[in-house]
Chains A and B, each alone.
Chain A
């Protein structure tokens, strides 16, 4: 008889799917919203319990989906890291939905709001599945659910811009999942397994046979490239700024905070459970990820500096932040992976905070989206202003905020023993340049929103009385607190992550 809490990952996934299906019958957007929030809260509690139990016992468990164990049936598996990440995802989704509520009600027609929440439910379910899955093909199926749901929440606003952004997003995503599935098929052809616990020994055995060097490198590359396309790693990021920049606030927050991370978690699992990090490093895939990550950090920041549109600027900053995660993964060490996971958590709170508060600032400036017109918006809506300031400073890397800890941990991982010198130089210089560029565009933006007076062109004053709702305030306060807490008390969390990477 297994422990009861081991059922919880399975409950999370099915709660999400069931809520989505039931929501079809609820025509009222408000009730659908309550149901979604309730579901997310329940799942957060369930994952929290799993996290507490597994972290206390320092163990992980696998859960056969049905009567048939590993090589025959599907399996879920959870340790502290998976449970923690799924809890963070739930919380971030709740805060994003609360914070973006006003925009959402404005952007989406009342009769179609329930459809939006269906997408949110299934998005949550697919994220849980990606967190907990122990099977490559299940990973593929839930990647596809994730893709449709993510594309739909972009297009929910239903303007020409967003539909165009959606189809570009859809096509790039499909390229990504196609390449990923081809990699998985090759893996199946040469190993005969799809479940990760059986893949690991099979792949290790193949590594000793030089005849398979070439296919192994190829399929590892394909799986990584497929997931990188979907998580917008640097040369494949072209879809991201328009998709994240033009969607409604809640969608932007969820997409950049959570959806990008789901694919990266699957990649981490592939790195740790199908291959080992050392094998990924020896195939050369790690170095490629590292270089691309460093490229993304610089490139994303440079384009963010040039972008006048506030939300798109933040979206470009996401490109850079995803680069940080890949930089950590590319080091192929335990510390690097722990740093990447910490960055996932830190960014999951910081970026939605920025998007939600920018949404508030934009509302306070008469729906003008250019940064120039946001002048003085922080005074008109102090709550949003404070949120933006905290988020921006965290991105710049001010000590005691989450972004600073990320840079610190990544730097430490890059300086550790056994890292080749060129990787060290690339990583450290990328971190330095990227921090500098972040300061270059976030600080002026922060100054701009606190400046006195109102921006006016041709005598038109773009100021607007904006009274933030309670849910907006709650969301900004919670996410702001999370960023500060992650910055101040990061030490135990990082220790826990480093310890739990071996349990992945």
Chain B
């Protein structure tokens, strides 16, 4: 069977552009079958994880399919008892959503009602979510940052060779196209980011677009170019600064709101860009944090360093 050209190219790229090593990943997909006489790792019998001989494997498969079928049937029966989809009288259409829709614009100030909810009405949840992202980045750094424990000399050599290969095989066309596209992408990302309270989008979507722009920049122009304006220090400063700004804003809102004090953040005229109190600064902070995190994911996965 003939595989299309783009697919082969993609495959080669995942192999690090090393033509001699284009062997399909048989090693990855078909590991040697576990031998029956070897003791399974678990000291206790595991109910959910089937390890062991071939008979055991077949049994596990049968068990898996059977249990999935039962679970699916039970869940389908549950769905049949749920209220009808899209009905006006459903439970979620209640006083909660009524207030979000009818008074959201006056109370909070953004015309995108979803933004009102995630950043103000339920701002605490969303702050927790930003912390999840922060934690995810920290965990990835903890695992993949190059140190004496997780990287051998051979790994370092491999990483260096990968960088070298990237530099040699860097695509001229990509560079030129990126030069043309980059302003557009940045503009689009900033628009999505700063217009989060007026139109769909907001910090998370805009931030990931900006992060994507950074990733594209590195692919097109090389690591050194990106490092010249975005290094370790900038990364930490921007990320921590954004998160602390976010924390201060949200703490202020919560404290003031809960204690019945007057809120001094102006709401502005709904529908204009400078409106909706804390929403715009929070969106910018979230966007910066998300962009940093996405780029950090990329670099730590790629070469274990920023």
Contacts and interface: CB of A to CB of B under 8 A. Distances in A.
Interface of A: 1-2, 7, 10, 14, 17-18, 20-22, 24-25, 63-68, 71-74, 109, 111-112, 115-116, 118-119, 122, 125, 129, 135, 137-138, 141-142, 144-145, 148-149, 151-152, 155-156, 158, 163, 186, 188-193, 198, 202, 211-212, 214-215, 218-219, 235-236, 238, 241, 303, 306-307, 312
26 contacts: A7-B259, A10-B255, A14-B251, A20-B131, A21-B131, A65-B254, A66-B120, A67-B253, A67-B256, A67-B258, A67-B263, A68-B121, A71-B95, A112-B145, A119-B142, A122-B131, A125-B131, A158-B149, A186-B82, A189-B90, A190-B83, A192-B90, A193-B96, A198-B96, A214-B78, A241-B43
Given A18-B244, A112-B145, A186 B132 contact: no
A74 B125 contact: yes
B91 A141 contact: no
Contacts of B135: 20, 118-119, 122, 145, 148-149, 152
Nearest to B85: A189
Contacts of A307: 43
A20 B131 CA distance: 9
Contact of B257 (A67, A212, A312): A67
A219 B77 CA distance: 12
For chain B, the bracket of interface size reads 35 or more
Contact of A72 (B78, B96, B236, B247): B96
Interface string B125-147: 10111011011101101110101
A72 B46 CA distance: 44
A306 B43 contact: yes
A73 B258 CA distance: 11
Given A141-B125, A214-B78, 18 more contacts: A17-B131, A20-B131, A25-B236, A65-B124, A65-B258, A66-B121, A68-B120, A109-B149, A115-B138, A145-B135, A149-B135, A152-B139, A189-B91, A190-B82, A192-B90, A215-B78, A236-B48, A306-B43
Contacts of A145: 128, 131-132, 135
A64 B260 CA distance: 10
A138 B143 contact: no
Interface string B92-132: 11111101100000010000000000001111110111011
B189 to A, nearest CB: 24
Contact of A303 (B43, B97, B124): B43
A109 B75 CA distance: 47
A7 B255 contact: yes
B96 A192 contact: yes
Given A17-B247, A238-B47, A74 B145 contact: no
Contacts of B143: 155, 158, 163
A214 B81 contact: yes
Given A7-B255, A138-B128, A22 B122 contact: no
A238 B48 contact: yes
Contact of B136 (A14, A135, A148, A189): A148
Contacts of B260: 1-2
